[in-house]
A and B are shown apart, each in its own frame.
Chain A
Amino acid sequence: MDSIAKTIGLDFERVRQHLPWVTLVLLILVVGLADANFLKPQNLIGMAADIVPLFIMAMGLTFAIYIGGIDLSAQSVANMTTVIATVSLATFGIGAALICIFFGAVLGGVSGFVTTRLLVPSFVSTLAIGGVAFSIGEWLSGQRALYMDATMRDNAFGWMVGNTAGIPHEIFIGGVLLVGAWFLQSRTTFGRALKAIGAGELAAVASGLNVDRIKIMAFALSGAFAAIAGLLFAVKLSGGSPTIANGFLLPAIVAVLVGGTPLTGGVGGVINTLIGTLIVAVIRSSMLYFEIDATKQQMVFGIILIVAIAVTIDRSKLSVVK
């Protein structure tokens, strides 16, 4: 009995790493069979462009999850940035982008500091910092939706939302960030250190790595990506509000985990998150095709999240779960 389970377990280990893209292909086929319009290039491209802000947030989250942590502040940081972008556009023009990224990185860095130096688990520290970010957004906006001046927006950020050869610019932005994040993760000492911390933090410490600093940087990166996501969202919608990105967090976490970066960290990465985000995009669109009410979306993602964690988590790394 034991040995049978072990054999299946071993095979499952091999299957597990291919699950994400197999799931994606199957989903596309199922939805495509249900409605052939879904597979039209125009539809697929539009779907991909719509998901880019979520994808950018999920990429940032990947770094936090890759080291075995989590960033629950991502959505609030994105919310805050939509407001900062809108407010600062008039004065700083394109410089508003730098301000947004700076604030995102600082808040992420603070989460990292609280986690590593004050030994507060990241799910609590980022939740708390998320509260701070949300309040900054409410305070700056006066709890109202703000709008960008159309001319100023087009001058500073028009390049973000145009079309070239029928492909929306968001897709290029997402692509450039993906290449950068992949390079950072796979080709730099920083990325290697992230992997070591996720897969075996004690060995990383014993090898002399500056584990605290690297963790802080991972959370800062997550914050910066969340800020970029917020900025892009604000430009697309030509305005900001402290609640505009609500509903992003759950699908973003789903994208990372369904893509194959488990909560225990150490494996997966941003390419996995690309696949995970596309899965989220297809599920979202399919809900339209299958006429599932929009109010049920979060419920669907909540259930998927639980299933995804249950499937991807590395139980050998867990002694107790609370």
Chain B
Amino acid sequence: MYELQSVDKMFPGVHALKSVDFKIGRGEIVGLVGENGAGKSTLMKVIYGAYQPDGGTITIDGTAVRFQNPRQAMDHGIGMVFQEQSLITNLTVMENIFLGFEAQFVSMGVINWSKMAEAAGKQLAKVKLDIDPGMVTSKLSFAQRQLVELAKVLTLEERIDGDLVILLDEPTSVLAKDEVELLFKLVRDLTSRASFIFVSHRMDEVLELSDRVYVLKDGAVVDVVSKTEANVDAIQHKMVGRDVDKEYYREQRQTDFRDGVLVSFDDVSLGTSYRNISFELHAGEVLCLVGTEGSGREAILRTVFGLDRPDSGTVTIKGQPVTRFHARAGVERGIGYVPRERKIEGIVGGMNVYENMTLSQMQNYSSNGVLRIGDEKTLARSWIERLGIKTPNEYKDCGGLSGGNQQKVVLAKWRSGGSDVILLDHPTRGLDIGAKEDVYDMVREMSADGVGIILVADTLEEAIGLSHTILVLKDGEMQRLFNGFREGKPTLYDLVHHMI
């Protein structure tokens, strides 16, 4: 029995976990659900020892434990199967499985590879994966890699006497339907030896696999439901605090885009980042770039903004072929960039609200190089009111605002400067639900005003909900263009299918 009692975790300005009680018994499968930012990953990090709680206790079979690092948690039988592929792709499968634990195969300073291969084969058999342990990991499919990660964690079986607790973080996100079934069967078979904590966005899967489900919201456990009494709608209601319907992404307010073309790519390529990309962005259109990390999404955004010059092809912005590639040129063309790294590239911490808002357009708020600070303040006050920015006044240091309000300041900077193409790179990352909804509202407003938006979304649901069109990318190449608003929106599976 592994148990957390009233565990708290604070970060500067954020109470990430609020008195969380959590327990998991031998052979149990426990689901963990919550919105982005609800505290799921913080809770998992506390469980597998990456974070130390600020309050509360952790006990294993009634004995209090405190882990200084993941290694100590592993010594107590707690293992983590990572969501992001944590395997080192240029190492072999067996090297990955025993990474950090090679000592058992060493005699006189030399690794006995055949012994390691044999041991790795035993681990792979546990997950029913029939591959050569000496294979280089990069040659495996994503599904196979996921199983190797599980096999790696299962080495704990031999090392630890007690029960195992294995965390599965979004293990199905890269799997097709039949592969998911296979994984689930495997997990159920393994419950004779280990208990599992299963984290997923896919509510139906969580319910199918788990015996009990913990629902997290704003860092607190708001409900624990058992499999028999759970249903998807009720859990979603608890997660979000109200019904999630199409209104979440403001789909009722979505209107068709216009005819005018703002940005067009004609067979554009840039090194290994992306190749042969063609699309058109119309006034009022929300175009979403979808793909895994490294699929070329961000690189395309950077080219549109003018940061990276492509090797070939033609980029046309508002009818003008682009020849100068420079952030300054992008701003002059009326392109606004809302970067993923909000605190680093978005706002300038240490500068106040009005200084941040006019940073990209100081020429409009100065005469002969002398700032008209009164005009700047007037502008800031009107946008503070218009976007509902929560700040005591326009003198407040932007570094001290919440993430959502910082994002509004960045958007106000571009909107007030008259940008009619806005690039949104993970605009809702790390925001709480209310702030996300504000961002969605702003996307709809800009779209209705005829602003063209290119979006790299935080989740696929967000991409589908917000966009008119979705461009699916894989390894820098276009896979499919979904004209979703006009021809019917794609499903999650449609997208994932083309992404991997």
Using a CB–CB distance below 8 Å, which chain A residues touch chain B?
2-3, 6, 187-190, 192-193, 195-196, 199-200, 202-210, 266-267
Contacts and interface: CB of A to CB of B under 8 A. Distances in A.
B359 interface: yes
A189 B12 contact: no
Given A2-B54, A200-B344, A200-B348, A192 B328 contact: no
A203 B348 contact: yes
B351 A200 contact: yes
A199 B54 contact: no
B257 to A, nearest CB: 26
Given A199-B349, A202-B345, A203-B347, A208 B12 contact: no
Would you call the interface of chain B mostly helix, strand, loop, or mixed? mixed
Nearest to B346: A203
Would you call the interface of chain A mostly helix, strand, loop, or mixed? helix
Interface of B: 10, 12, 54, 327-328, 330-332, 337, 339, 341, 344-351, 355, 359-360, 362-363, 366, 369-371, 373, 413
A306 B351 CA distance: 27
Contact of A200 (B12, B350, B371): B350
Contacts of B348: 195-196, 199-200, 203-204
B328 A210 contact: yes
A199 B348 CA distance: 6
Nearest to B328: A208
Given A203-B345, A203-B347, A192 B371 contact: yes
A195 B355 contact: yes
B327 A206 contact: yes
A208 B54 CA distance: 42
A78 B413 CA distance: 42
Nearest to A189: B362
Contacts of B337: 206
Contacts of A192: 355, 359, 362, 371
Contact of B330 (A2, A190, A208): A208
Nearest to B335: A208
Given A192-B355, A196-B359, A205-B327, A267 B350 contact: yes
Closest 4 CB pairs of A and B: A208-B331, A200-B348, A199-B350, A207-B360
B359 A209 contact: yes
Contacts of B350: 195, 199-200, 266-267
Given A207-B413, A267-B350, A189 B328 contact: no
B360 A187 contact: no
Contacts of B360: 207-209
A2 B10 CA distance: 11
Most buried by B among A195, A205, A207, A209: A207
A242 to B, nearest CB: 36
Most buried by A among B10, B330, B339, B349: B349
A202 to B, nearest CB: 5
A201 to B, nearest CB: 9
Given A192-B355, A200-B344, A209-B359, 4 more contacts: A192-B371, A206-B346, A207-B331, A209-B328
B351 A195 contact: yes
Contacts of A6: 12
